[in-house]
């Protein structure tokens, strides 16, 4: 068993998967580097910005998975918040189908997917389904992000792995939060709708499995996780789903009816964000966690307010024998989504600028100062206020706007 786990945790299976999908480091035999017509696709990250510079012989795990002393550009004994410089690699794509498939699949576990799919579900499908997905998503992601910084397992080594992402390379690897989010969202959507709407059980199960599998495989293709990271993330998410499922209705009822819900929804996530595990270098995990908890907090307050004051434009339309998406015209669905997403993005931009401006004035730093924005006293309130406003806007303001525009 120990040997199997060691193999799953190593970088070689990831490298073999990449090669089998037609992704090679430039210059590797079989990568086709000798053909000028098939030059390197683009520059890929060997170690992303923000990853820690790890002195040789320090014994510390390197999240970015860069071999100590290999093109690191960091002097021994020197620690840096930016990490190894000059550590980039060129790679060659031999199969563009897999390249675009897995690049797209990787995006299904990132902010662009959360900020579109979760609101879309709320505006066009079902409130109760959206509430359950957001609850599960926020709990699963918080546990996953904290686990990374507690376990401190490094990402796959490069070489032999080709790395296609820079930002997330600064984080530790175990568990894969992409795998956790994909499993949680797809299967919570399936579980929440299978008894409420009429569609083939097998179709829903296969769709959830395919969705989560594609995201999991994308983490191997992009070189950001080992096989064990991905399996661990999916299993942890599945266990949490099993544990949370019996309490879904109780949690949902409390969130809608308890007079303490708004206070609880704001205070608890803020306390968790301010007490996030500390590292001796900057990692985007705390900021990402604050973003997720902030969005969930704002949405939860919106759920409560809608239930208390009937502010929702869709009250009474959630429970129908078939999916509302089927009975609604495509034009109305697209109109609701486009109007909603424009308002959400505008809210995000306005709040981000306003909050950063206030914090910059308070702590005396220019808005463009990236290092200042990474400080605890700046990053947490900036991201929490911005994304809680986004969550609140998506669940309260946008539905009211839909009503005013006759898009109910």
Listed in sequence order, the residues at least 6 apart from 200 whose beta carbon sits closer than 8 Å to its beta carbon are none
Q: By CB neighbour count within 10 A (0-12 exposed, 13-18 middle, 19+ buried), where does 102 fall?
A: buried
Cα–Cα distance, 34 to 367 (Å, whole number): 46
Active-site annotation holder among 127, 178, 253, 402: 178
253 among known catalytic residues: no
Cα–Cα distance, 288 to 300 (Å, whole number): 18
Under DSSP, is residue 72 helix (H, G, I), strand (E, B) or coil? coil
- Cβ-contact 166, 134 below 8 angstroms: no
Cα–Cα distance, 221 to 297 (Å, whole number): 33
- Cβ-contact 174, 63 below 8 angstroms: no
Active-site annotation holder among 127, 225, 253, 402: 225
- Cβ-contact 78, 53 below 8 angstroms: yes
Other C-beta atoms closer than 10 Å to the C-beta of 296 total 23
402 among known catalytic residues: no
Give 91's strand partners: 25, 42
Give 45's strand partners: 88
Cα–Cα distance, 188 to 245 (Å, whole number): 9
Question: To which H or E segment does residue 83 belong?
Answer: none
Residues tagged active-site: 178, 225
């Amino acid at each position: 068993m120990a040997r199997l786990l060691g193999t799953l945790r190593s970088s070689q299976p990831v490298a073999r998967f990449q090669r089998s999908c037609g992704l090679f480091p430039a210059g590797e035999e079989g990568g086709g580097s000798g053909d000028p017509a098939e030059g390197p696709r683009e520059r890929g990250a060997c170690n992303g910005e923000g990853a820690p510079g790890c002195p040789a012989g320090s014994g510390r795990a390197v999240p970015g998975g860069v071999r100590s002393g290999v093109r690191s550009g960091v002097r021994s004994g020197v620690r840096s918040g930016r990490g190894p410089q000059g550590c980039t690699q060129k790679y060659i794509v031999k199969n563009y189908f897999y390249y675009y498939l897995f690049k797209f699949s990787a995006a299904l576990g990132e902010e662009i997917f959360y900020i579109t799919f979760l609101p879309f579900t709320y505006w066009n499908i079902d409130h109760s389904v959206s509430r359950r997905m957001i609850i599960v998503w926020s709990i699963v992601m918080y546990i996953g992000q904290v686990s990374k910084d507690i376990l401190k397992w490094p990402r796959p080594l490069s070489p032999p792995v080709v790395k296609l992402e820079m930002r997330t390379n600064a984080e530790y690897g175990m568990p894969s939060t992409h795998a956790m989010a994909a499993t949680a969202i797809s299967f919570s959507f399936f579980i929440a709708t299978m008894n409420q709407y009429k569609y083939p059980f097998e179709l829903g199960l296969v769709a959830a499995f395919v969705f989560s599998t594609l995201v999991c495989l994308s983490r191997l293709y992009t070189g950001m996780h080992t096989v064990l990271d991905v399996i661990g993330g999916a299993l942890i998410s599945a266990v949490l789903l099993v544990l949370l499922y019996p309490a879904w209705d109780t949690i949902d009822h409390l969130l809608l009816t308890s007079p303490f819900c708004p206070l609880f929804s704001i205070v608890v996530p803020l306390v968790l964000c301010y007490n996030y595990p500390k590292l001796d270098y900057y990692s985007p995990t705390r900021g990402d966690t604050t973003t997720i908890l902030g969005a969930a907090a704002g949405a939860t307050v919106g759920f409560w307010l809608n239930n208390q004051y009937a502010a929702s434009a869709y009250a009474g339309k959630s429970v129908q024998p078939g999916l509302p998406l089927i009975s609604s015209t495509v034009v109305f669905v697209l109109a609701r989504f486009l109007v909603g997403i424009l308002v959400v993005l505008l809210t995000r931009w306005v709040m981000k600028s306003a909050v950063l401006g206030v914090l910059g004035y308070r702590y005396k730093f220019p808005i463009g100062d990236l290092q200042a924005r990474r400080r605890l006293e700046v990053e947490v309130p900036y991201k929490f206020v911005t994304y809680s406003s986004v969550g609140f806007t998506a669940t309260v303001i946008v539905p009211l706007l839909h009503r005013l525009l006759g898009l109910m």
